[in-house]
Amino acid sequence: MSIGYVALVLHAHLPFVRHPESDYVLEEEWLYEAITETYVPLLKVFEGLKRDGIDFKITMSMTPPLVSMLRDPLLQERYDAHLAQLEELIELEIEHNAHNGHIKYLGEHYAKEFSETRLIWERHQGDLVTAFKEFQDSGNLEIITCGATHGYLPLMKMYPQAVWAQLQVACEHYEETFGQPPRGIWLPECAYYEGLERMLADVGLRYFLIDGHGILYARPRPRYGTYAPIFTETGVAAFGRDHESSQQVWSSEVGYPGAAEYREFYKDLGWEAEYEYIKPFIMPNGQRKNTGIKYHKITGRGLGLSDKALYDPYWAREKAADHAANFMYNRERQTEHLHGIMGRPPIIVSPYDAELFGHWWYEGPWFIDYLFRKSWYDQQTYKMTHLADYLRAEPSQQVCRPSQSSWGYKGFHEYWLNETNAWIYPHLHKTAERMIEISTIEPEDELQWRALNQAARELLLAQSSDWAFIMRTGTMVPYAVRRTRSHVMRFNKLYEDIKIGKIDSGWLEKVELMDNIFPNINYRTYRPL
């Protein structure tokens, strides 16, 4: 008999990046890389577990922008071409390294992976959302939602309608996609402010995820810390992130992904190969980029990229198995310790960005595979669970008020509001005010109806927390700035055209084609609450 629960929760999110107006935009490859390195490998793990009779339980958010991109015919077509180019490059690499045994071995490893990716992609006809839905329907995967465009909710709380729109649009989009309302939500950036739970309850959600200190500093202090959810006064449950299990994976100092045997992320063929050779496989303007083909391992701390040894997937897989065993062992001891103190089954909630597994940590999907297999066969101390299942099994919890928090740097809001990105908020606040103002208009014709709905889309897209995050990290900043400005400018033109009753139908059609997220949105969601 198990005496506790472990909930593995993955946050699958990418900002909405889709550029039909251009033949090539580098940032679209964020999606293609994630499909190849994270989403298809996870499906492969799930399929293997299911085939072998392992009744695994895992929770995963799939945000509306990600779902929209995965189901978009244009992006599906472009991904197919992207994968074909990878297949072409790796065949060329195998031929090119016929007399370099280790590189040829790695090339054949990648060729096999790309071939398996192609098989899964074509078997599902490019519709990976339906592929994941099948595991939800079988009871193995619990898919939860997020904010409509991953907007940072505490920084828009002065406009409750804007927060409401992020929640309602997300829930409606989820139901359109999965045929049922969502039970839970991964709050964007795990960012919570007091009072948000009322809207979560009103939109029909039953639980949300929050960083550990949002629970630990709740009022009154929760008796069981982060090892049991708390109920808010609205009845919506809050689950807190477990620090110990998070650190084992996330920590740059002691986390598993830093092991010497694992693949080195920052040494890529796109930057290493001779220029004329790699030129057909990099950016059309001739700039180098990552290809996803990497031949070296981390090797050791403090080494420069030029000192890295060659990678070996065999030993990396062995290390992933060791780490899965260690993670399981630590969760067993943690569960036993907590059960002894609490006198009831604890739940250890371990949330991570999904893209960590495969994209950043190449061996991450192997780790997940081994963890579920070992947890199924090699221990009986804890039970892997979905958060909704846990609430059904343990319906009595303490009632508390969570503390304002996020899972960002220093645990509050400064990563999304600082000297690099503060300039965006006056514009976002003004657009929110204007959207609330025009939400009371009754459209005179279909053209005005379309313009009002497109204005709502532009505001949601401008509010994505990804743009402020990128400005703070200092990578791809011009793109994040351009996206923020373009959505605000499009909104302002729509607002002005609506106000004067003269809508540019040709321009509107172009914008609808580019920013086509949420085809069934209703601008009235912004009406005063």
CB-count burial class (<10 Å; 0-12, 13-18, 19+) for 253: exposed
Q: Is the pLDDT of residue 250 over 90?
A: no
CA distance linking residue 281 with residue 32, whole number of Å? 14
Q: Is the pLDDT of residue 252 over 90?
A: no
Whether 135 contacts 169, CB under 8 Å: no
Rounded percentage of the chain residues whose pLDDT exceeds 90:
96
pTM for the whole structure: 0.97
Please state which of the four CATH numbers 1.10.10.60, 3.40.190.10, 3.20.110.10, 2.40.40.20 is assigned to the domain occupying 183-263+311-417: 3.20.110.10
Q: What is the pLDDT of residue 251?
A: 81
Q: How far apart are the first and last CA of the chain?
A: 48
Average pLDDT on 162-170 reads: 98
Q: What is the pLDDT of residue 301?
A: 80
Residues in CB range of 50: below 8 A, 6 or more apart = 56, 135, 138, 140
Annotated binding site: 241, 258, 407, 466
Q: What is the pLDDT of residue 302?
A: 81
Tokens at 231, concatenated: 């109920």
Query: What 3-state DSSP class applies to 527?
Result: coil
Query: What 3-state DSSP class applies to 12?
Result: strand
Average pLDDT on 173-191 reads: 98
At 147-159, the pLDDT tens digits run 999 999 999 999 9
* Range of lowest pLDDT (302-306, 354-358, 444-448): 302-306
Residue 475 CB-half CA count within 13 A: 4
Q: 377-394 as b/e, with b when 16 or more CB fall inside 10 Å?
A: eebebbbbbbbbbbbeee
In the chain, domain spans: 11-144, 183-263+311-417, 423-526
Give the residue, 303 or 437, on which the prediction is more confident.
437
Give which of 27, 14, 20, 33 is closest to 74, Cα–Cα: 20
pLDDT band at 363 (very low <50, low <70, confident <90, very high): very high
Q: What is the pLDDT of residue 300?
A: 87
Quick one: CA dihedral 72, 77, 82, 86, positive or negative?
A: positive
Residues in CB range of 96: below 8 A, 6 or more apart = 277
Q: Is the pLDDT of residue 509 over 90?
A: yes
Q: Is the pLDDT of residue 288 over 80?
A: yes
Q: What is the pLDDT of residue 253?
A: 78
Mind telling me the catalytic residues? Answer: 189, 353
What integer best gives the mean pLDDT of the chain? 97
Whether 363 contacts 315, CB under 8 Å: no
Annotated binding site for substrate: 241, 258, 407, 466
Q: Is the pLDDT of residue 529 over 90?
A: no
Architecture in CATH of 423-526: Up-down Bundle (1.20)
At 43-75, the pLDDT tens digits run 999 999 999 999 999 999 999 999 999 999 999
Residues in CB range of 55: below 8 A, 6 or more apart = 139, 140, 376
Q: Which segments of 87-160 are extended strands (E)?
A: 141-144
Average pLDDT on 176-186 reads: 98
Q: H or E stretch including 416? A: none
pLDDT band at 445 (very low <50, low <70, confident <90, very high): very high
